[in-house]
Structure 1
Amino acid sequence: MQSTVKNRPELVCPAGSLRALQMAVDAGADAVYLGLRDATNARNFVGLNFDDGQIRAGVAYAHEHGVNVLMALNTFAGADDTSPWFRAVDRAVELGADALIVADTAVMAHARRQHPVMRLHLSVQASATTYAAIAFYRERYGIQRAVLPRVLTLSQVAHVIRNAGVDIEVFGFGSLCVMVEGRCALSSYATGKSPNNAGVCSPPSAVRWIERAGAVEARLNDVLIDRYASDEPRAYPTLCKGRFEVNGVRDYALEEPTSLNTLELLPQLIDAGVKAIKIEGRQRSPSYVAEVTRVWRAAIDLAVSSNRYAVLPAWSEQLNRWAEGQQHTLGAYDRPWR
């Protein structure tokens, strides 16, 4: 028996390149998010992101297919010079972005002052975990959507939605972080650069791969993050996902490589009033973007049109191929001790 069609959350998908953007659009994204090739966005990897010509082409392609383009300007402006972030806001508006994803209050203020009709989304990097915090940004800077950090339970998400007065976006799939986003200073001690300003947890300039005694060491500058056998798959080194010896046991001391996957909670997220579901992964391949987008497009369409929603085995099989560490978690949504 078919139900009354529920409110359909927007599917927001990553685009680290023009090809990834096009594949996300073709796979059914409602919106794509991207960044410039500089420290104004939180995925500032070499070889990723967009120059002006690519943004124009991407915006044209997305708009031709009825898809919105969100520009991530979601790092914190440098204390010595805010002008690169202000210029990035102006560029995003001129290049045709439909909304800006922002974290820094100075950047929000500039956008509100210079481009009052531009839609603002509060980035997960702003670390707003309560409806009162979100209300401040709404009242002071006019934000229209907030992306929640991945530390809230389902009931807490619902509570924020009922009281925040703006659209709420949550992450549905992708890599996790043990920190409350925007508050991480961990990698700064090893690399000398903050992920909240430089736009990457482990800057390539700090990454070292050293062959020693038949093994490969992964280091951030002089800090040993992991040691791999010569034939063992190697992960990009980050402090929080390193393997360390603690009390004589070598294991993942802070966090195992794993991906958030909330497919089984999709009906509850929709019932709670979530307005958008985000897929993490601007640093991932276009193939990742395309396949994950297709799975989530099918899942959302089924969840909003039928009372008999269930996670299909084929969906799980497809997502398993792209999960970090080939394992999934519900993250903070699953707290059996509560």
Structure 2
Amino acid sequence: MEMTAQALKAANEQGTERADCQAATQSSAREAPRLPELLCPAGNLAALKLAIDNGADAVYVGFKDPTNARNFAGLNFTDAQLAAGIDYAQSRGRQVHIAINTFAQAGRVSEWRASIDKAAGMGADAVLLADNGLLAYAAARHPALKLHLSVQGSATNCEAINFAQEMFGIKRVVLPRVLTLAQIEHVIRNTAVEIETFGFGSLCVMVEGRCILSSYATGQSPNTHGVCSPAAFVRWEKHDGRMNARLNGILIDRFEEEENAGYPTLCKGRFQVRGEDYYALEEPTSLNVLAVLPELVRIGVRSIKVEGRQRSPAYVGEVTRTLRAAIDAATKADYTVKPAWSRVLDKMSEGQQHTLGAYSRPWK
């Protein structure tokens, strides 16, 4: 059967893409699956210690400045606190990853470079970067420092990942929460770079690194100021027995007296669309991969990441303990999700609801 010129072109392009990916790694020679690392958030020293004490293999943290994407007041580490945290973790055989994952602003690049220098000097086990200029700086200035491509870098395919490895020597990439299990497996088979995926916590409806909703409303975003829906712009107003939540004057949600009032982020607000009030973009719910942990292990995910540096130490301790038990059981033939695990994680979820998000798309 003869192929049309268009079909032949498409086939050639697909073949070239496959060859480009496969040329970057010898995926057929991969080692047998091993248990993934459990990577947990730490917004302060207390949370770091609870994560380590409850079984985290590594924690990720940030400095008290706009170089990290969780730059909230009262959050993150002073130099002294971070030095103590690194010592606490490393003395117990665990690791500390430092997030420097916002994009350097014009005229202020030295601030971001200084954070990279400081992380290297403090003995960080890895740094998370998204900005290509900063990746280039870190690779040239600190060749022994492990570089992880942050989720803010929005790398969703093997071409992007292998390019970052070739250019900057990255050792790991954090995948955005938009890929199915089959898509993640395809990436893993076609790159030698370690793959880190989110396993629990709040969802981001956009491809991370590309959302500008917060900038639209407040002039500040995670990529520029390290914060989504900054607290300085949040207002709560009681009106007619209900609670209105506003972000820089924009009405994000309205809660009845008996409802739990969530933090007002634009993507998770309720809006009037065609005469109906509902969550137009995304419901406030949390990702929970307990049901697919064996699959994540089988396909070779290297690290399971918990979202929530802005959450309390109690959250960190409970989630870490639960996921530690689940990951340790994930290679057993009789693995099942224990009701006790679900109860704990549901309690810690947004709206006490959970989802598999993009990991499960029966229609795809």
What TM-score bracket applies, with the shorter chain setting the length? Answer: over 0.9
Please give the residue correspondences for 1:91-102 in structure 2 after superposition, counting only pairs within 5 Å: 91-102=118-129
Q: Is 1:312 the counterpart of 2:362 in the alignment?
A: no
Q: What secondary structure sits across from 1:224 in the alignment?
A: strand
Instruction: Map Cα deviations across residues 208-255 of structure 1 (whole Å, 9 max, x no partner).
Output: 112223322111112110112344321111000001111111111111
The 2-side partners of 1:164 and 1:129 are apart by: 12
Aligned to 1:130: 157
Please give the residue correspondences for 1:217-232 in structure 2 after superposition, counting only pairs within 5 Å: 217-232=244-259
Q: Is 1:257 the counterpart of 2:284 in the alignment?
A: yes
Q: CA RMSD in A?
A: 1.1
Among 303, 310, 319, the alignment partner of 1:276 is: 303
* Structure with larger Rg: 2
- Aligned-pair distance for 1:136? 0.6
Q: Which runs of 4+ in 1 moved over 4 A?
A: none
- Aligned-pair distance for 1:126? 0.1
The 2-side partners of 1:83 and 1:231 are apart by: 49
Instruction: Map Cα deviations across residues 25-73 of structure 1 (whole Å, 9 max, x no partner).
Output: 0000000000011111111111110000000000010011111000000
Aligned to 1:296: 323
Aligned to 1:52: 79
Q: Is 1:200 the counterpart of 2:227 in the alignment?
A: yes
Instruction: Map Cα deviations across residues 236-292 of structure 1 (whole Å, 9 max, x no partner).
Output: 110000011111111111110000011111111111011111011101111111111
Q: Does structure 1 retain, via aligned residues, the 8 Å contact 2:99–2:128?
A: yes
Among 32, 42, 45, the alignment partner of 2:59 is: 32
- Aligned-pair distance for 1:195? 2.1
Q: Is 1:109 the counterpart of 2:154 in the alignment?
A: no
Q: What secondary structure sits across from 2:190 in the alignment?
A: helix
Aligned to 1:166: 193
TM-score under structure 2 length normalisation: 0.90
Q: Does structure 1 retain, via aligned residues, the 8 Å contact 2:33–2:299?
A: no
Letter in 2 for 1:25: I
The 2-side partners of 1:98 and 1:336 are apart by: 38
- Aligned-pair distance for 1:74? 0.7
Letter in 1 for 2:93: G
Q: Is 1:325 the counterpart of 2:363 in the alignment?
A: no
The 2-side partners of 1:6 and 1:242 are apart by: 40
Q: Is 1:242 the counterpart of 2:269 in the alignment?
A: yes
The 2-side partners of 1:230 and 1:328 are apart by: 24
Letter in 2 for 1:329: T
- Aligned-pair distance for 1:80? 2.8
Among 285, 297, 300, the alignment partner of 2:312 is: 285
Sequence identity (%): 60
Please give the residue correspondences for 1:211-222 in structure 2 after superposition, counting only pairs within 5 Å: 211-222=238-249
- Aligned-pair distance for 1:107? 1.0
Instruction: Map Cα deviations across residues 305-330 of structure 1 (whole Å, 9 max, x no partner).
Output: x2111111110011111011111100
Q: Does structure 1 retain, via aligned residues, the 8 Å contact 2:136–2:168?
A: yes
Q: Does structure 1 retain, via aligned residues, the 8 Å contact 2:150–2:173?
A: yes
Letter in 1 for 2:149: L
Aligned to 1:75: 102
**How many pairs were matched up?**
333
Gaps of 5+ in 1: none
Letter in 1 for 2:357: G
- Aligned-pair distance for 1:6? 4.8
TM-score under structure 1 length normalisation: 0.96
